[in-house]
Structure 1
Amino acid sequence: MSVFRRRKKGILSEGYLWILMAGLLYVLGLFTRDNSAFLERIYPASWNRALIRILSRITGVMPVSLGEFFVYANVAAGVVLLILLLKKIFTGGFFTLLYRIVTYAALLYFVFMLVFGLNYNRASLREDLALERVNYGTEELILMNEALIERANELRGKVSESDEGVFTLAERRNEIFALAEEGYDAFSEAFPQFGGEYGIAKGIIASEALNYTGITGIFMPFTGEANVNIKGPDLLFPATVLHEMAHQRGIAYEDEANYMAFLVSSYHGYEPIRYSGTMLALINSMNALYKEDRESYRALYETYSEGVKRDLRAYSVFYDAYEGEVNERATKVNDTYLKSNGQVSGVKSYGEMVNLLLEQFMQKGEVVFP
């Protein structure tokens, strides 16, 4: 009889539990910002990588990014819910709907922190690579740039170029996604903690629109997917793929993911991928030198091969066409996101990969990690 029927409870039926758990994770995040050792004891990085690995392999069976559609659905739902919320101010049920919205937001926050957010509080990548944090000066920066330029010039002579003389990938984007996996396979032989089978990187359908924001890739914590803009220049495309794959492996900070992209590219046997990773490192390192010593920067720039110079000019020209208010607003949003997760210097921290490069160069004696 109907009197004995029990109502099925949905995932949001006990909303206060999700709000409570989200609050507990928020407090845990605050506590572990300065106590990475405690985080490692209660939630080891290996557990987190295993979780992302499983999640990414499940979503990886789909050829398109589920995370991208997840974003679209939530943006559309947000607009609809905002309209409904305003309407219910006058028709009643405002607080009931608000409670459900807060519950859903708490659920999203809980999943984000569990899958990815807590990685912002982990120990530096330096610990995995046995690097010591040291502040090096301009002299060491110049020496490292000389080594990077020599490597870039050498690799540039081994890659293909277009009729305009600009570096061009012979492979399609999907083929680069598969090739990138080989880099992490080789790297994991030296550093097994970064090994394992993850879902393959995916292209973003709205890549052309993303060019106006300056965004070249996005890691989707809710699906474990490494998503890459497929409408940008070839120059840094392989490095960007490796960067987003670094996020899959639990590396949260942008500077460390950039460094990991260079590091993994140096283990790859394919010259175009090594060249792309080297150019990522060189651009960041030379930008740092420009701020410190412009005269030395100009002198070193003249030692670039003509091919490297053409590649950099073409890369700059491509993104010049997309600059504008949308790009500036997207940068501010990204800056706010990074700072909210403890990356205090925000977007400026993208240049901090140079510290890791310098430590590697000075402490290991090579611009390429041994």
Structure 2
Amino acid sequence: MKLGKKKKGLLSEGYLWILLALLIYGASLGARKNPELLERVYPAEWNRALIRLLSRITGPFPFSLGEAFVYFHVFLGAVLLVLFLVRLFKGGAWTLLSRTIAYLSILYIVFMMVFGLNYQRPSVRAHLSLEKTLYEKEVLETMNQALIERANSLRERVPQDEEGVFTLSMEEGILYEKALETYEAFSWEHPVYAGTYGPAKGILLSEYMNYTGITGIFFPFTGEANVNTKGPDLLFPATVLHEMAHQRGVAYEDEANYMAYVTSLYSEEEEIRYSGTMLALISSMNALYRVDKEAYRTLYDTYSEGVKRDLSAYSAFYKPYEGKVQEQATKVNDNYLKSNGQVSGVRSYGEMVNLLLEQFVQKGRIDL
């Protein structure tokens, strides 16, 4: 008896995944206008539990699984491109293309469920009792004065190298442990950020990341907070705390920067507190420079010599790495942020100043 050839259904080539990805994309657009509905359907608590699970699974590995994930997919992309060109002449190109799109749809779905939908959730203000408010330039100046005093004071108590530039005294692994302890201390007062997560991890090809200007990256597919270990020490602890904020469901860059600062205040290590304070000071002074250059110069003169040396060394470090690669990486990052609703793109890296001002005025101090 001759068997008939089995017919392929509409979903046989992965169209179901493509359709589901489109539905999730549409739902994410709707959630921007109605975040309360998202919270009812997919609570942030569930999302953080999912990231914690991924993080605890991948945490014990001594290397970044996320980095390996990226390299594998770069190789896979090259192989698929060659296969597609071959099948254009031999047949089967459409099948390969549809299956590739289906696979990319699966990756998109996983990304959205693990991290992407967090772009539609309420601000960290909701958890830290801050009210969105705009303040005058004079308030910004006063806050900068407070940050400068804090930075100058901390700078006197942190280690420096033979050239008088701030340098970390602790090894990389110890820093990651101290960062976990910092978040643990912070979560005692803000339990929404509590929980056991895997430690931050260094990127193997960190040296090459310097050409992109990227200092850290959170890998949603593995729940790992990854950092560039070949940059200056000045903002390295703050970068670790920043990526760990993403790990805890904080999506926006400006809010992750703010979280890096406020969590650093809970650290027992002055080196971590200094790094977080310098991140806040750089952002806040840049904001002042844009509105009043004269006021900026006046306040800059009040920096201690140690702080000035640290900033000069930080700027000098990245000079050799500037170029086309960094420009293109910035454009890619800018488009990624805008595609997720962060309409100001990379400019939002300076928007942490609004949160700092709200904290400064509404809580009456520069710390929590």
List aligned pairs for 1:333-348, cutoff 5 A: 333-348=332-347
Deviation at residue 130 of structure 1 after TM alignment: 1.0
DSSP 3-state at the match of 2:351: helix
List aligned pairs for 1:20-39, cutoff 5 A: 20-39=19-38
Aligned partner of 1:84 in structure 2 is 83
Letter in 2 for 1:215: I
Aligned partner of 1:194 in structure 2 is 193
Deviation at residue 87 of structure 1 after TM alignment: 1.7
Aligned partner of 2:6 in structure 1 is none
Q: Does 1:41 align with 2:40?
A: yes
- Cα distance in 2 for partners of 1:178, 1:321 equals 32
Identity, % of aligned positions: 66
DSSP 3-state at the match of 1:307: helix
- Cα distance in 2 for partners of 1:15, 1:100 equals 6
Deviation at residue 148 of structure 1 after TM alignment: 0.2
- Cα distance in 1 for partners of 2:282, 2:252 equals 18
DSSP 3-state at the match of 1:33: helix
Deviation at residue 17 of structure 1 after TM alignment: 2.4
- Cα distance in 2 for partners of 1:91, 1:211 equals 43
Aligned partner of 1:249 in structure 2 is 248
Letter in 2 for 1:143: T
Deviation at residue 16 of structure 1 after TM alignment: 2.2
Aligned partner of 1:6 in structure 2 is none
> Contact 2:13–2:98 (CA<8 Å) still a contact in 1?
no
Aligned partner of 2:358 in structure 1 is 359
List aligned pairs for 1:155-194, cutoff 5 A: 155-194=154-193
Aligned partner of 1:231 in structure 2 is 230
DSSP 3-state at the match of 1:226: strand
Aligned partner of 2:319 in structure 1 is 320
Aligned partner of 1:8 in structure 2 is none
- Cα distance in 2 for partners of 1:52, 1:69 equals 18
Deviation at residue 146 of structure 1 after TM alignment: 0.2
- Cα distance in 2 for partners of 1:111, 1:254 equals 21
Cα deviations by residue, 1:249-269 (Å, 9 ceiling, x for unpaired): 000000000000001001111
Q: Does 1:134 align with 2:117?
A: no
- Cα distance in 2 for partners of 1:227, 1:154 equals 30
Letter in 2 for 1:154: S
- Cα distance in 1 for partners of 2:74, 2:336 equals 17
- Cα distance in 1 for partners of 2:114, 2:98 equals 24
- Cα distance in 2 for partners of 1:286, 1:138 equals 11
Deviation at residue 66 of structure 1 after TM alignment: 0.3
List aligned pairs for 1:61-72, cutoff 5 A: 61-72=60-71
- Cα distance in 2 for partners of 1:66, 1:14 equals 29
Letter in 1 for 2:140: L
- Cα distance in 2 for partners of 1:179, 1:29 equals 36
- Cα distance in 2 for partners of 1:362, 1:292 equals 19
DSSP 3-state at the match of 2:162: coil
Letter in 1 for 2:209: L
Aligned partner of 2:94 in structure 1 is 95
Aligned partner of 1:331 in structure 2 is 330
DSSP 3-state at the match of 1:267: coil
Deviation at residue 35 of structure 1 after TM alignment: 1.0
Aligned partner of 1:215 in structure 2 is 214
TM-score with structure 2 setting the length: 0.96
DSSP 3-state at the match of 2:355: helix
- Cα distance in 2 for partners of 1:361, 1:49 equals 28
Cα deviations by residue, 1:192-221 (Å, 9 ceiling, x for unpaired): 010100011000001000000000000000
Aligned partner of 1:7 in structure 2 is none
Deviation at residue 52 of structure 1 after TM alignment: 0.1
> Contact 2:13–2:95 (CA<8 Å) still a contact in 1?
no
DSSP 3-state at the match of 1:233: coil
Gaps of at least 5 residues in structure 2 are 4-10
Cα deviations by residue, 1:260-281 (Å, 9 ceiling, x for unpaired): 0001001111100000000000
Letter in 2 for 1:363: Q
Deviation at residue 24 of structure 1 after TM alignment: 1.6
Deviation at residue 316 of structure 1 after TM alignment: 0.3
- Cα distance in 1 for partners of 2:324, 2:129 equals 42
Letter in 1 for 2:137: T
- Cα distance in 2 for partners of 1:166, 1:114 equals 43
- Runs in 1 of length 4+ with deviation above 6 angstroms? none
Cα deviations by residue, 1:164-207 (Å, 9 ceiling, x for unpaired): 00001011111111110011000000000101000110000010
Deviation at residue 14 of structure 1 after TM alignment: 6.4
